[in-house]
Amino acid sequence: MVVAGGIVALVLGSGASRPMPGESGTAPSEAAGAALRPNVVFVLTDDLSMNLVRFMPHVLAMERDGLTFKDYFVSDSLCCPSRASIFTGDFPHDTGVFSNFGPGGGFRAFYRRGDERHTFPLALQAAGYSTALMGKFLNGYLETSGHGHLSDGEVTDVPARYVPPGFTQWDVAGWGYPEFNYTLNQDGVLHYYGDHPSDYLTDVISRDGVQFINRAARQKTPFLLELATFAPHSPYVPAPRDANDFPGLGAPRPPNFNVLPTDPPKWLADHRPLTRTQIAKINSAFRRRVQSVQAVDRMIGTIESTLAADGIGRNTYLIFSSDNGLHTGQYRLMPGKLTAFDTDIHVPLVVVGPGVPAGKTTNAMSENIDLASTFAAIAGTHMRSDGHSLLRLFHGHPAAGWRDAILVEHHGGPMSVLDPDYQQSPSGSPTTYEAMRTHRFLYVEYADGEREFYDLRTDPFELHNLARQLTPSELTQLHAALSRLEQCHGARRCWAAMHVAPLAPVRGVRPRSPGSNT
């Protein structure tokens, strides 16, 4: 395999002989009592890219007061597959959820495969926790998509009042992307919310979250609360009070903005430079995205104030993240996702809470499949998954022996026009692929045989595809390592597959200049 200033050979780690950092000692003693076990508030946003964090003062304060994961990624840059991986701790190849709709996607696939009976809320509820989900669940749940009822092919065989197992409180919307005029299933009772400013969905779940926390504090019950916003997903609807903020703000212009990488894959190669009209649309979308995260940021501040007022702030982990990122002009693409580029797979993960050192960062390779095991470890319990608990990292333990590779899986193909993530060609429509991301490189294999390889040490913006410059031996080694990841099942085998070790450089490569803007 390959990396670094030139191309570097790699070999897969020793697999089963490599130890997994233990969780022993992280669980509270039985004598401590349920009331002393830490609480968890998990704020999961929708399509929030890394370039939005600087506009969120409460999240920036979390970075100052807690731990920031610099290398946290998602298993698929698409809403439902990513959220299925978060709930179960499993890769898409184990959840069977590869899309938002259709036989292999959405709530339909999650329900029919029985994935809902293998989730972190169930594990924590069994451990004595009160558990709540507020906001967004999975695509296809309680959904008419805003365009009429879903087709018969999307029927999930469950009533609209259905509440999945594992939740003490359930306040979940179907098609909540417009933030107004939606239906909320509140513990099996359907409530319609209209278009008054007080109906803005992010504010509604913020109020409900406060009530849940206050009740749990009075009852002295440990709890897990997931606040899953639809913001800042398209159509990027800000709260009315934020609709005029950030005048003149445009999308950032990193080196990969409106530029193709050298030797791009076929799905990307024919994209022409963005027009002035397209760039204006990108700027408008970015400004609305920044406006829409203001309500999310205020919600975080409200939750922090509530925890402090109830006297439980120091015993509560507050965790902030996103289900995937979003590109806005990078690689000549209109706003969208689905790619293996960092714009789409690299997302925030910030945590504050008991034992979390202030103002620290970690470069430990981590992924959304790790969250389920982490929440279980916080509660002093365990759940089977492909991931690995991050709790030791939360507490500042060194990452010695930690994994150095993560897996990204994506199934391409036509998307339903009812899909909230429906993308036309200008936003990008990647072919089915599997990808391996390490600190040193990104390697992608497409179903049509194409490959990409980016040396991240010299090319952090992923502009020089060096795949054609790799030797047959290097390609064979990369393929073998990626195949082990694709075929892993369970924590130990996936942990072993996520270790690769560098050997000596075999040669240097001077990459060609990336494509120009014209």
Read off the pLDDT of residues 62-113 as tens digits, 9 standing for 90 and up: 999 999 999 999 999 999 999 999 999 999 999 999 999 887 888 989 999 9
**CA gap 399, 391 in Å, rounded:** 11
* The pLDDT value given to residue 414: 80
* The pLDDT value given to residue 151: 40
When the pLDDT of each residue in the chain is averaged and rounded to a whole number, the result is 89
Domains, the chain, in order of start with CATH, read 38-404 (3.40.720.10)
In the structure, what pLDDT confidence band is assigned to residue 157 with cuts at 50, 70 and 90? low
* The pLDDT value given to residue 206: 98
At 107, the amino acid letter reads F
**For 284-294, how does the pLDDT look when each residue is reduced to its tens digit (9 = 90+)?**
999 999 999 99
Between the alpha carbon of residue 17 and those of residues 20, 21, 392, 401, 495, the distances in Å are 9, 13, 21, 12, 11
Q: What is the pTM of this model?
A: 0.91
**For 182-227, how does the pLDDT look when each residue is reduced to its tens digit (9 = 90+)?**
999 999 999 999 999 999 999 999 999 999 999 999 999 999 999 9
Is there a catalytic annotation at residue 79? yes
**For 307-327, how does the pLDDT look when each residue is reduced to its tens digit (9 = 90+)?**
999 999 999 999 999 999 999
**CA gap 234, 230 in Å, rounded:** 9
CB of 141 closer than 8 Å to CB of 172: yes
What is the secondary structure of 126-148 as a DSSP string?
A: HTT-EEEEEE---TTTT--TTSS
**CA gap 151, 375 in Å, rounded:** 36
**For 351-379, how does the pLDDT look when each residue is reduced to its tens digit (9 = 90+)?**
999 999 999 999 999 999 999 999 999 99
Tokens 């499993």 belong to which residue?
90
Report, as an integer, the average pLDDT of 267-274. Answer: 97
Residue 152 has pLDDT above 50, yes or no: no
Closest CA to 112 of 147, 157, 74, 57: 157
* The pLDDT value given to residue 509: 46
Tokens representing residue 501 in the block: 């070790």
**For 39-68, how does the pLDDT look when each residue is reduced to its tens digit (9 = 90+)?**
999 999 999 999 999 999 999 999 999 999
Residue 17 has pLDDT above 60, yes or no: no
In the structure, what pLDDT confidence band is assigned to residue 144 with cuts at 50, 70 and 90? low
Sign, Cα dihedral of 315, 374, 233, 208: negative
Residue 8 has pLDDT above 80, yes or no: no
366 versus 31: the higher-pLDDT residue is 366
CB of 219 closer than 8 Å to CB of 124: no
Q: Catalytic residue among 79, 80, 488, 494, which?
A: 79
**For 99-127, how does the pLDDT look when each residue is reduced to its tens digit (9 = 90+)?**
998 878 889 899 999 999 999 999 999 99
**For 431-459, how does the pLDDT look when each residue is reduced to its tens digit (9 = 90+)?**
999 999 999 999 999 999 999 999 999 99
CA atoms within 13 A on the CB side of 6: 11
* The pLDDT value given to residue 379: 98
* The pLDDT value given to residue 14: 35
**For 248-265, how does the pLDDT look when each residue is reduced to its tens digit (9 = 90+)?**
999 999 999 999 999 999
401 versus 510: the higher-pLDDT residue is 401
CB of 245 closer than 8 Å to CB of 498: no
CB of 78 closer than 8 Å to CB of 410: yes
Sequence-distant (≥ 6) Cβ neighbours of residue 270 within 8 angstroms: none
**For 484-511, how does the pLDDT look when each residue is reduced to its tens digit (9 = 90+)?**
999 999 999 999 999 987 633 333 444 4
Residue 33 has pLDDT above 80, yes or no: no
